Structure formats: structure tokens, C-alpha cells
Structure 1
Amino acid sequence: MRRTSTTLILLTLFFLLSSHELFLKSDSYFFEENSLGELYLINGTFDESENVITRDRIINPKILGPNYDFKPSSDDYYDKGEITFLKFKTGNTGTYVAGVSTKPRVIELSGENFTTYLEHEGLTEVILDRKTKGISNQVANEKYSKHVKAIFQVDERRTDNFSTQLDYPIEFIPLKNPYNLSVGDIMSFKLLYLGKPLGNQTVHISSRINTDAKDGKETALSTNDKGEVSFTISNIGHWYIATINMLERNEEDFDYESNWATLTFEVK
């Protein structure tokens, strides 16, 4: 196949990729009007970041709200430990959406490590396709990028800015304002890929009742033919929905292209 491996400890790279989901989070998703606030990027699991996101990787950052359109610059970020923080000032009361996208990178994995990674992420269709083609043991070059969003509330007035499409390659669009919901209510999302509904896609849902909770149980669901998925809000706390869409490609530098999406919000 294409380029010769320039070996940089493939097993280490595998674990870095397979465990490194990206989330845009806040300690509290409730802010005051016209006040200073912070969001932060967690690159690892929902509970722990394993490395910062360098500024050269960040593209299309934005925070949108009622009469509010903030596009962060490199000066609006700072790092602390393994976490990247984003500083901003809120505007008028309302429901806001924030997002960050990353530039693509390419990683090379052995066939065994790639299969393990696919199993870890529940990408069974890719596993079966590689098995059918007899290429499960072949090296795989994957181009990947990540696209993360957070929905947060500024003071009391609820607005429809939560559903604003950020035009990322893949993204979740809330079909309900999460800040109108209570425990026992149904939350719904539409998943878009290149602006169109993505049906029959596995997504993962999880929550934490408090910020000290670790390793909450994930629930796997599938979008319907309209790209929609719904679930019951079973508890207060921080919630996320996540997915990885992977497609086979026949390019010079990579065989597969994956786009990762997450969205976080809070329920009181």
C-alpha cells in the first residue's frame, strides 16, 4: 500500500486515538448576562483530559446567542495542565451554542490495532467490511477530525439559538432546548453529516450527576432514517451525546476518513 511507515510507536498512537474523544465543557452551563465565562476542551474521556489542543489545530471556533456572534482568536485560549480553556464574555440573556472544530490528522495503525480500535468505538460495519474483503490484517491509514459543541444558558430567557447549525462536517442539532427540560422528559437530536441527516448511525449517550462522578455508563442508540435520536433525561447533571462516522476512502495518504462529533449540556 502507499507510503512506508515512519514508525512512531503505533501502539501508543492507537491508544491516543481510540481513547481521545474531544468535549467542549463547563463546570456549570448556567451563566449570568454580560459576564466573564470559560469553556474548556477535554481531550481524552469525558472525565479526564490527556493533552491540550494546540492552537494550530483549532478551526472554526464560534459562540452564538441572541444578537451575539463571537469568534475566538488565539488570545482567548490558555492552557492549564492538560486542559485548554476558552475565555469569553456573555451577551444578552438566552440559550447559546458554542463549537470548536479541529484540523484533520492522519494516523497509521496495524491491522490488529485498527480492529481493536473499531471494536472499542462500536464501528461494527467497518469491521465486517474489512473482514469480508479479507483485509482485516492490513495496515490502515485513517484521516480524522473532531467537531464539538456545547449548549449553555445565560440567565432566564430561553431562545432558539441552541439549534443553530455551525456547518461542521458532522454535528448534532438539538431538536429541543435542553434548558426547558426536567428529569423524565425526552431529549431529541438530529445528526447531520455534510448538512444532511445521517441515519442508522450509532451514537453514545452518558451523564454525570456531579462533576466529581467518573466513568458513567454509556448507552448506545441508533439514529432513525431521518437522522434523529431520542432518549429520556433520567437524572440531573452534565450530559453528552457522541458519535464517530467512518467511511472508506481510496486516497493517496489514507484509506479511511472519520469525523467525530460530541455535544454537551446540563440539566438541573
Structure 2
Amino acid sequence: MMMLRRTLLASALTLSALSIGHAQAHEFWMVPHDAQSHTGAQVLFELRIGSGLPGKQTPRIPGLVAEFSARDAQGQFSVSGHDNSLVIGHFKPRSAGATVVALQTNPAQITLSASEFETYLREEGLEKIIQQRQREGDSDQPGSELYSRFAKSIVLVDGHSEGFDRNVGLPLELIPQTEPLQYKPGQQYHLRLLLNGKPLVGTQVKAQSQGKQRYFLKTRTDAHGEVAFALPESGFWIFSAEEMTASQSQDADWDSQWASVTMAIGKRKAS
């Protein structure tokens, strides 16, 4: 409860500063410069928020970040960054292979009107919450939500991808299962969605990219928490998912967790 009270002000500042509506305040991903890098090179990250590509670039607002770290073949280390900067974090790769960068936010609260909340739930594939609200007679009531976001970005270093499927232990985490550099457009690209380390079944996962044209794909996880996308184009892809449950807090009706992962797929950068 104390952490919640500390973060309510940060939530209000975030939503005010972005000037964007209801569900758009949630979807949240990192864009690295560059997604394919070299040992010792500086990799910078920007933060995007929105209902889809291209999203709105936003600074690192005070009170937003709970933890910002990375893992590579040598282990875990902190990602440096400063509040109020458009460069939300930066690091220098230490070894060849994949460096998995993970950003966790502090929880924040938002309340939407009944119609806004239902529209947002449908967009995110959360019909189970719509049905629960109907069963409880709350369909015409506002929806109050306490949300946390978990954004990953996978940086491939020195033309190698070992460790791309590393689990970094986020509460809600999307983990690629298909090696990215050898991927050919049209093949099945697999990911697994875990909630507290266990497969999450029947949850909508979205895939987005903006290369020669904008692509927006979605499907649901199977009995093993896995999805597969036939990606039509190589390039930089964003995958995202959300889970929502009844809240145990007196300050919200629902708790939601948002996961995203960004990475370069199917295209090896020239040395």
C-alpha cells in the first residue's frame, strides 16, 4: 500500500505528460539504437507508448522505473539512465551473443468510464474480464485498474544470437523460441508467454512491425503458453501481451500486467 501511494502521483504525471487516451497509455516498448551492435559500442534506448506503431516517444518520467537491468553470457548488470531524459537507458555490450535488457515499472492506477474500459478490454483480447463484469453486474460501472509494465529488448552483439531465449524472470514475460538471425519471412516464429514462470494459456499476443509496410498480427497462446507467427518481413518486430485479474488492492478493481519484447529478426546487420 505504501508503494502504491508513492506511485499514484507518478502515474498522474505520466498520463498528463503524454496527453494520450485510455488504452493508449498502456502499451509500452523499448527501441534500441541499435538492435544489432558490437562489443563495447554504446547502445541507447528510447521508450514508446501508444496503441500501436509508431507510438509516442516519451522521456523517463520520475517514479516510473522500478528496475532496469540486462543479462548476457557473463551475468546480470544494471542499465544506466537518468530521469527526464529521452534516452531512458544505455549500456555497452560486454560479450558476443544476445544481451537481454529488461525494464520494470512501478505500478500505477487509472480509472476509465464503462464504455472506454470495455473498448480497451476488447482491443487487448480480455473478453474474460468483460464476461466477469457482466456476471457481477458491473458492466455499466467505471473500470479502475492498477497496472505494471515489463518491457524487454534483445540486442544481438557481434553477429551472434546465443542467449536470445534467456528467461530473465519478469512477472509476465515473452520469450522468443526461434533463433532470430537465420529466420526467413513466412516461416513460423515461436514465442512463449510466462506468468510468474508458468505458461499462460489462451492469452492474446500481438506482433507489429513497420518496414516496407505496417504489419499488425495477433493470435492466442496454446496449452503450452506458446504462439507462432508467420512474419511476412524481416526487420525490427514488437511482440506484446497483457494479463488482467481481480485486484487485491482497495484502490483498484483490477490488476494488469503488460509484457513486450523488441528485437531484430531475420536480417543480419553488415559488419
Q: Is TM (by shorter chain) over 0.5?
A: yes
Identity %: 26
- Give the counterpart of 2:209 among 207, 210, 215: 207
Q: Gaps spanning 5+ residues in structure 2: where? A: 1-11
- Give the counterpart of 1:32 among 18, 30, 38: 38
Partner Cα separation in structure 2 for residue 218 and residue 58 of structure 1: 28
User: What do the CA deviations read for 1:119-170 (whole angstroms, capped 9, x no partner)?
Assistant: 23232221122123221111221100110111121112331x2222222110
TM-score by length of 2: 0.83
Offset at 1:74? 4.0
Partner Cα separation in structure 1 for residue 249 and residue 172 of structure 2: 20
Q: Gaps spanning 5+ residues in structure 1: where? A: 1-7
Match of 2:227, as an amino acid? Answer: V
Partner Cα separation in structure 2 for residue 139 and residue 99 of structure 1: 32
1:54 alignment counterpart = 61
1:239 alignment counterpart = 237
Match of 1:128, as an amino acid? Answer: Q
Offset at 1:78? 6.2
DSSP-derived class of the 1:158 partner: coil
Partner Cα separation in structure 1 for residue 149 and residue 160 of structure 2: 31
User: What do the CA deviations read for 1:160-192 (whole angstroms, capped 9, x no partner)?
Assistant: x22222221101111122123222332111100
Offset at 1:217? 3.6
Cα contact 1:169–1:195 (8 A) shared by 2? yes
Partner Cα separation in structure 1 for residue 22 and residue 75 of structure 2: 34
Match of 2:154, as an amino acid? Answer: I
Show structure 1 runs of 4+ deviating over 3 A: 11-17
Matched, 1:104 2:102: no
Q: How many residues align?
A: 250
User: What do the CA deviations read for 1:4-30 (whole angstroms, capped 9, x no partner)?
Assistant: xxxx9xx98995340131101124311
1:258 alignment counterpart = 256
Q: How big is the alpha-carbon RMSD for the aligned residues of Structure 1 and Structure 2?
A: 2.4
Partner Cα separation in structure 2 for residue 17 and residue 151 of structure 1: 28
User: What do the CA deviations read for 1:197-216 (whole angstroms, capped 9, x no partner)?
Assistant: 10111111122216xx6xx2
Matched, 1:16 2:21: yes
TM-score by length of 1: 0.84
User: What do the CA deviations read for 1:11-68 (whole angstroms, capped 9, x no partner)?
Assistant: 9899534013110112431101221121221122431325323142112211111225
